[in-house]
Amino acid sequence: QLQLQESGPRLLKPSETLSLTCTVSRGSVTSSNYYWGWIRQPPGKGLEWIGSLYYNGSTNYNPSLKSRLTMSVDTSRNQFSLKLTSVTAADTAVYYCARHSNYYDSAGFVNTSPDFWGQGTLVTVSS
């Protein structure tokens, strides 16, 4: 069965850059059937979709994070990554990586949705 494992620093100071990597096992980031992405959840709060990407590098970001966000894929390592700059305490959350399924809507645009999640990693921003 597919396995997704998040890794990266767990404690950051304000203004630093959050960098996380998701390693894909028993599956391939180059699968034409799936996108890959990130979701976060502040402690005690709900889920927030961060963004998704395709193995060819095409990305789709949450508009509220877009100015600080970069997502990328490393096909040679079967990994995909997230970078979020200028973090504040509001970025403290459990970050999940997830495989995304997709479909084309009536207008011909691709829509993605998480269908399999990693276990998540808590990233804390504190001075």
By CB under 8 A, name the one of 13, 33, 103, 127 that touches other proteins.
103
Site membership for other proteins, residue 119 (CB under 8 A) = yes
By CB under 8 A, name the one of 9, 10, 75, 115 that touches other proteins.
115
Task: Using the CB atoms, write b or e for 50-78: b if 16+ within 10 Å.
Answer: bbbbbbeeebbbbeebeeebbbebeeeee
Considering the complex, what minimum distance in angstroms separates the CB of residue 74 from other proteins?
23
- Binding-site residue total for other proteins (CB under 8 A)? 30
| β-pair partners for 32 | none
Which of the ranges 7-15, 17-25, 73-81, 103-111 carries the binding residues for other proteins, by CB under 8 A?
Answer: 103-111
Show contacts with other proteins in window 25-64 (CB under 8 A): 37, 39, 46-49, 52, 60-64
DSSP 61-97: E-TTTGGGEEEEEETTTTEEEEEE-S--GGG-EEEEE
d(CA 4, CA 38): 11
Residues at the contact surface with other proteins, assessed by CB under 8 A: 37, 39, 46-49, 52, 60-64, 96, 101, 103, 105-107, 109-120
